[in-house]
Amino acid sequence: MDKDSPSIVIACDGSAQSLSAAKMAADLADATGRPLKLLAVSPYSQTSALVIAGYEQTKVDAAKQQYGRKVFDATKEALGGRADTSEEILLSGDPAHEIIEYMQANPGIHLVLGRRGYSPVRSLTLGSVSEKIVRHATGPVTVVGN
């Protein structure tokens, strides 16, 4: 694999949809010879709750790292060693916002993510992460359904 070529980035959250998307991304990486990276976003609400509860920053950071490790390990297990996922990117905040900013800062990446099965009413009122990313993405995005 050419490490300097644009990467395929899997947006991971540990859900079944995310793990299915990871398998498709690994197939795409194998077919194109592009490097595969894992990206997870520690949910802003989880981090906020820790700060509001009065936890020290080191505990907040530890919770973020624990979340990332759990998600990355689950994704690697689902891939069964099929892909070189040597780079792991762990961000914190609103998932759609953070992923869009990551794409803007890293032109040329191809993002692969799962689509969560929200109810039609919830999707209309809140919008889904995948929908927001597709709408504002600065590069190619593949959304993998159930």
22: in domain:
yes
Work out the mean pLDDT of the chain and round it to a whole number. Answer: 83
pLDDT of residue 10: 95
Long-range contacts, 93-98 (Cβ 8 Å, 24+): 93/41, 93/42, 93/44, 93/47, 94/41, 94/44, 95/11, 95/13, 95/41, 95/43, 95/129, 96/129, 96/132, 96/133, 96/136, 98/41
Number of domains in the chain: 1
pLDDT of residue 79: 92
122 is in which domain, residue-wise? Answer: 8-144
Between 14 and 47, residue with greater pLDDT: 14
3: in domain:
no
pLDDT of residue 54: 63
pLDDT of residue 48: 60
Between 82 and 135, residue with greater pLDDT: 135
Quote the CA–CA distance of 69 and 92 in Å, as a whole number: 13
- Given pLDDT bands bounded at 50, 70 and 90, which one contains residue 2? very low
32: in domain:
yes
1: in domain:
no
pLDDT of residue 49: 59
Q: What is the CATH number of the domain that holds 42?
A: 3.40.50.620
pLDDT digits (tens, 9 = 90+) for 62-81: 888 899 999 999 999 999 88
87: in domain:
yes
Give this prediction's pTM: 0.82
Using the predicted structure, report yes or no on whether residue 12 has a pLDDT greater than 80: yes
pLDDT digits (tens, 9 = 90+) for 120-137: 554 444 558 888 999 999
